[in-house]
Chain A
């Protein structure tokens, strides 16, 4: 069966510090991978998606970047965090691009102080 793991689960970082959130998927190959952010208002916003190694599409301009160094690994990064980067970050994968059946990780809660 397929599983998705995110870490760290919780992170408190000062403004201006770097960020690295990692997500890995097991039990499937060539998944489509996504990073979503859930801000305090609860709505989810798509940040990045990837259909293959090294292929990253950004949905919104921001202070964050994403990379996919391996087939089942997706990393969310920032060189210098802003207060507005605080939120709940969710990684997800899907089998194909035709349906919105996403499988989400447990999330990483980032607080920037």
Chain B
């Protein structure tokens, strides 16, 4: 079945770049997503990438997609303490819209 894998923790210094990696299994996914969860709160969509793209940039965020290796990454430039949160990679179940499979989430800790 479909699966999404992420490392559980990442620690960086304020001002450095953060790179969060994800691997997925369902090559039919039209979109791949990054969600952010702050402590005790729901998830918020950060960005997404269409499967025919290799890269998408949105201000401090850069998403890279390697379809051959089924690898997705999220780079946060100039990481700030306010970026500390859990970041989830997700793909659609059988390419069905909001029915998403989420990774376990990567907890990003930003140290001043």
Nearest Cβ in chain A — how far from B10, in angstroms? 14
Asked if B98 and A92 sit within 8 Å, CB to CB, the answer is: yes
A44 in contact with B93 given A32-B98, A92-B98 (CB within 8 Å): no
Chain A contributes a number of interface residues (CB within 8 A of B) equal to 24
A101–B46 alpha-carbon span in the complex (Å): 10
In the complex, the chain B residue whose C-beta lies closest to that of A109 is B40
Chain B interface extent, by class = 20 to 34
- Can you spell out 15 A-B residue pairs with CB atoms less than 8 angstroms apart? A32-B98, A42-B8, A44-B100, A49-B99, A96-B97, A99-B97, A100-B31, A100-B90, A100-B98, A100-B99, A101-B98, A102-B100, A103-B45, A104-B42, A107-B40
Is A34 an interface position by the 8 A CB rule?
Answer: yes
A100 in contact with B105 given A92-B98, A107-B42 (CB within 8 Å): no
A19–B54 alpha-carbon span in the complex (Å): 45
- Given A46-B100, A46-B101, A100-B90, 10 new contacts (CB under 8 A): A32-B98, A34-B98, A42-B8, A44-B88, A44-B100, A92-B42, A92-B98, A94-B98, A97-B96, A99-B98
- Chain B residues near A42 (CB-CB < 8 A): 8, 86, 104-105
Is B24 an interface position by the 8 A CB rule?
Answer: no
A34–B96 alpha-carbon span in the complex (Å): 13
| Residues in A lying within 8 Å of B, measured CB to CB | 32, 34, 41-44, 46, 49, 59, 90, 92, 94, 96-107
- Chain A residues near B104 (CB-CB < 8 A): 41-43
Asked if A59 and B99 sit within 8 Å, CB to CB, the answer is: yes
- Chain B residues near A104 (CB-CB < 8 A): 42-44
Asked if A90 and B43 sit within 8 Å, CB to CB, the answer is: yes
Interface centre among B33, B91, B97 (most CB of A within 10 A): B97
